[in-house]
Amino acid sequence: MKILVTGAAGFIGFHTVKHFAEKGNRVVGIDNINTYYDVELKYARLAETGIRKELIKNHQSVESTMNPIYRFIKADLQDKVFIDKLFANEHFDVVCHLAAQAGVRHSIENPYAYINSNIIGFMNILEACRFYPVKHLVYASSSSVYGMNKKVPYSESDQVDSPVSLYAASKRSNELMAHTYSKLYNIPVTGVRFFTVYGPWGRPDMAPFLFMDSIVNQKPIKGFNYGKLSRAFTYIDDIIEGLSVIINHAPVGEIPNKIYNIGAGRPVQLLDFIVAIENVTGKTAIKQMVEMQPGDVYQTYADTTALEQELHYKPHISILEGISKLYNWHLCYTKNFERELPFN
């Protein structure tokens, strides 16, 4: 199987590339390596997959030194000419579209970045899949589409028409665009609503990383809404296993379009998550309780019944196990690179 992974230098994209290349699939990864957070973490991820930083140039294919069936290309999804040429030349079987401008709070300050990347970029992927057909397009949506829904747990059949951030609106737009292209052009498409993903090599702007790094280095951490938030924290290995199952089950029917939640079971209170980090690290958090941030939600809670019943997969890694793995990686990363993690 030949797979295109967009966002290959990102958190979930990096793990997806590793998983499928190690399984013997031919993988092409693309990423624009933007500066939303420190690019050195992105280059470090790429190095872990055998992509040498000094060889990376725009639109030039770089073969992995670790696994020759993986190639990386620095490119921007907004470049329609390049994307069309890539699809015409490569003949992909599957597209796993994970590239996006992420971050709920960042969307308040930089709205156009979300339109350019999440709307125009996804449109170019859809058009390429239309003219150069693939067996399955899988794309990243988000639990943020549920907004302030009071009904929990969140189910794929719930109303999702009241987003509280532009990021959430862009992800909901992706779902509607994907449904339209499935209906019009019979493209098998599956959207995956991720719930608060964490783990090694993760995004440094997200709470699990911020908390881990700050507690280890005895820096203050901010507890938004005075710590009265809860999240379905989901370890990266559960996400990748779920993606693998979904990719191998393309939807069929008159409109070959599906959406699945991938998230851990019952949500964990922010303060309980902090206590778990304290227990694993043996250090006490310096907490600063602050008010709710614009665009944030009080809780996320995934109903994964559809994923379990239709594809027989359920996330299973506990918070304690996940935090322990994250801590071990944190120690290794900071030791090897002799630096603090690149948090901005």
Q: Which amino acid is at 159?
A: Q
Q: Which amino acid is at 267?
A: P
Task: Provide mean pLDDT across the span 55-65.
Answer: 98
SS3 269: strand
Task: Provide mean pLDDT across the span 115-137.
Answer: 98
pLDDT band at residue 296 using 50, 70 and 90 as cut-offs: low
Closest C-alpha to 201, from 14, 5, 4: 14
226 is catalytic: no
With 0-12 / 13-18 / 19 or more C-beta atoms within 10 angstroms meaning exposed / middle / buried, residue 35 is exposed
| Torsion region of 320: left, alpha or beta (phi above 0 gives left; psi -120 to 50 gives alpha) | alpha
Using the predicted structure, report yes or no on whether residue 243 has a pLDDT greater than 70: yes
Using the predicted structure, report yes or no on whether residue 341 has a pLDDT greater than 60: no
Q: Which amino acid is at 195?
A: F
Express each pLDDT in 5-53 by its tens digit. 999 999 999 999 999 999 999 999 999 999 999 899 999 999 999 999 9
Express each pLDDT in 245-270 by its tens digit. 999 999 999 999 999 999 997 889 88
Vertex 184: Cα angle to 181 and 185 (nearest 5): 75
pLDDT band at residue 336 using 50, 70 and 90 as cut-offs: low
State the pLDDT at residue 295.
62
Catalytic-labelled residue, pool 70, 154, 167, 181: 167
Query: Which domains are present in the chain?
Result: 2-195+235-263+301-318 (3.40.50.720)
